């Protein structure tokens, strides 16, 4: 019975520690965020061009101007 309780305690402790350490990692990297922003702003070939630009720049698109989606101008 004591071994059973120790095992349950160790599992709970491990579960809590795993949750704490996973909070330090961002949910999405900049490239994934950039592609999701492209999907929110553009469709068709514009979406494809935007996603390709995200991949080429590792998600660090820095665009300004009249035809640019607001999501990208906020990053600048």
Residue 1 located in a structural domain = no
Which range of residues forms the domain containing residue 67?
Answer: 30-73
Residue 5 located in a structural domain = no
Listed residue (65, 49, 66) closest to 57, CA to CA: 49
pLDDT value, residue 13: 73
Longest dimension (CA), the chain: 70
pLDDT value, residue 35: 92
Could you read off the pLDDT tens digit of each residue along the chain, which spans 76 residues?
A: 677 788 787 777 777 777 666 666 667 888 998 999 999 989 999 999 999 999 999 988 877 766 778 877 665 4
Which residues, 6+ apart, have CB-to-CB distance to 61 below 8 Å? Answer: 34, 50, 53, 54, 72, 75
Do the beta carbons of residue 41 and residue 71 sit within 8 Å? yes
- The predicted model scores a pTM of 0.58
Number of domains in the chain: 1
pLDDT value, residue 11: 78
Task: Determine the Cα–Cα distance for residues 13 and 6; give it in Å rounded to an integer.
Answer: 10
pLDDT value, residue 56: 94
């Amino acid at each position: 019975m004591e071994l059973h309780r120790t095992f349950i305690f160790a599992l709970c402790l491990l579960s809590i520690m795993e949750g704490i350490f996973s909070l330090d990692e961002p949910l999405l990297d900049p490239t994934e965020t950039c592609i999701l922003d492209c999907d929110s702003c553009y469709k068709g070939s514009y979406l494809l061009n935007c996603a390709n630009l995200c991949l080429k720049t590792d998600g660090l698109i820095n665009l300004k101007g009249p035809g640019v989606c607001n999501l990208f101008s906020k990053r600048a």
